[in-house]
Chains A and B, each alone.
Chain A
Amino acid sequence: MDQNKTFDAIVIGASAGGLYAMINIFKQLPANYPIPIIVVQHRSKDERSLLEEVLQQKCSVCIKQADEKEVIAGGCVYFAPPDYHLLVENDGTFSLSFDPPVNYSRPSIDVLFETAADVFKERLLAIILTGANADGARGMKKIRKLGGTTIAQQPDTADYPEMPKAAINTGAIQHILTPDAIGSFLRECMKNNTVW
């Protein structure tokens, strides 16, 4: 399976119910997990950093909010800050933007997925989790088109199945997995990406 591919980055999109699914996934990862993980979780603009704090308590991998122009590196899970889109630049850094909401969302999953696809192409792994809208579907299509690997959370394990379903309906999803299985998948991927 695709666990044998090497990935330069993993992108994750999550909306309503995402916290619980992410805890299940990230708690399986060691502190030095080598592949950078970049997440858009839909969140209120008034919430400054609660999400990161809650997750950090449950996981050993480092959880942080992405900074403007920060260099993307392994050993970290980066979150899009509230009220900004998160984009990946060609030189492997982040940029933020205050463009209008996409799919009523800022940050938007599509914005992250589409820019990450441009940069990482077939060396990108994308995961779409629970949510009550269709953000991320368009991005998944593009990722698959550029040769990336795609996973959706199994809808009947999602608090809100619409978002994984919308992605699956595009025909771009290769693997449909439970959060636990996604966690194991990520651990398998690690074997090809060990940093010494």
Chain B
Amino acid sequence: MIDNEEYRQFLESVRFVYGYDFTDYAEASVIRRIRAFMESKRVGSLKDLGRMVLKDEAAFEHFIQDITVNVTEMFRDPFFYKSLRKNVINRLATYPFIKVWIAGCSTGEEVYSMAILFREEGLLERTVIYATDINQDALQKAREGISSINNMKSYTENYLKAGGQHSFSDYYKAKYNSVLWDKSLRQNIVFSVHNLAMDKSFNEFQLILCRNVLIYFNQALQSKVIGLFYESLCSFGFLCLGNKESLLFADKRTCFEEIDKKEKIFMKTK
């Protein structure tokens, strides 16, 4: 059993020692993952877990990797990408230079999907994509640009549903059981660590994607992070959230206009 008081204390000490703040994450999911981690490491109590990760940085890194959820796909929610092509791209095209922030990019599939879309729309050459995540290990995988070959069938389907204009296989090379994304896609991508719960705004963007990250946060943290995106967007910049996410809990919700309600695309209007 994980006792509530113990749980709070554990997160407080993690914050104190490592500066990672999980106190405003949705609890049920964090507790589930902590339990799974404890089971796999045969740790009996939260106190023991504390002893294990607070003294040993390598063990902590391992722990972080396990409790952040890095599941992602190429062109996940294909209709979202289709809507981007239809509703956002033409407005972005009016800028001489485009900056995009993909926050919570995980192992990079979403980033490469965006690079492909921007290439097909003729914008990639004048775009820089800043792709950030809290999980170093996931970011490293994103930089390497490797994916499992087993996923290619469903990724190809997604790509086509997303309005893809070429053959999906143009964008990767197969090697053994993996595929390597075309290197030229990566030229204008900057991968770096950024923690949405603690770090500040670092640039101004025309487009921000943060999909399936807010669901892991409580309402207060969701509102704070939306505030951070608000600060980081130019006027009439676009914010895209995951399919099940909303601006409902954000103080800044009235400063955005809905561009596509279903696909969760918003424009900063105030």
> Which residues of A approach B to under 8 Å, CB–CB?
67-69, 81, 84, 87-90, 95-100, 111, 114-115, 118-119
Binds A, one of B22-30, B88-96, B116-124, B180-188: B22-30
Q: Are A87 and B71 in contact (CB under 8 A)?
A: no
Q: Are B33 and A87 in contact (CB under 8 A)?
A: no
Which one of B212, B215, B249 lies within 8 Å of A95 (CB-CB)?
A: B215
Which one of B71, B215, B249 lies within 8 Å of A100 (CB-CB)?
A: B71
Q: Are A97 and B249 in contact (CB under 8 A)?
A: no
Instruction: Give the nearest-CB partner of B215 in chain A.
Output: A96
CA A118 – CA B215 in complex, angstroms? Answer: 20
Task: List B residues 219-260 near A (Cβ within 8 Å).
Answer: 219, 244-246, 248-249
CA A89 – CA B28 in complex, angstroms? Answer: 6
Q: Does chain A have a CB within 8 A of B4?
A: yes
Given A87-B29, A98-B212, A99-B33: A69 touches B71 (CB 8 Å cut-off): no
Which one of A90, A98, A111, A114 lies within 8 Å of B69 (CB-CB)?
A: A98
> Which residues of B approach A to under 8 Å, CB–CB?
4, 26-29, 31-33, 69, 71, 212, 215-216, 219, 244-246, 248-249
> Chain A residues near B4 (CB, 8 Å)?
90
Which one of A88, A97, A111, A114 lies within 8 Å of B215 (CB-CB)?
A: A97
Given A69-B248, A96-B244, A98-B71: A87 touches B28 (CB 8 Å cut-off): yes
Q: Are A114 and B246 in contact (CB under 8 A)?
A: no
Q: Are B71 and A88 in contact (CB under 8 A)?
A: no
Q: Are B71 and A68 in contact (CB under 8 A)?
A: no
> Chain A residues near B245 (CB, 8 Å)?
68
Q: Are B244 and A81 in contact (CB under 8 A)?
A: yes
Which one of A68, A89, A118 lies within 8 Å of B244 (CB-CB)?
A: A68
Q: Are A111 and B244 in contact (CB under 8 A)?
A: no
> Chain A residues near B216 (CB, 8 Å)?
95, 97
Least distance between B68 CB and chain A CB atoms (Å) = 10
Chain A CB within 10 A, most for which of B28, B71, B212, B215: B28
Q: Are B28 and A88 in contact (CB under 8 A)?
A: yes
- Name 15 interchain pairs, CB-CB below 8 A, sorted by A: A68-B215, A68-B244, A68-B246, A69-B248, A69-B249, A81-B244, A84-B215, A87-B26, A97-B29, A97-B69, A98-B69, A98-B212, A99-B71, A100-B71, A111-B32
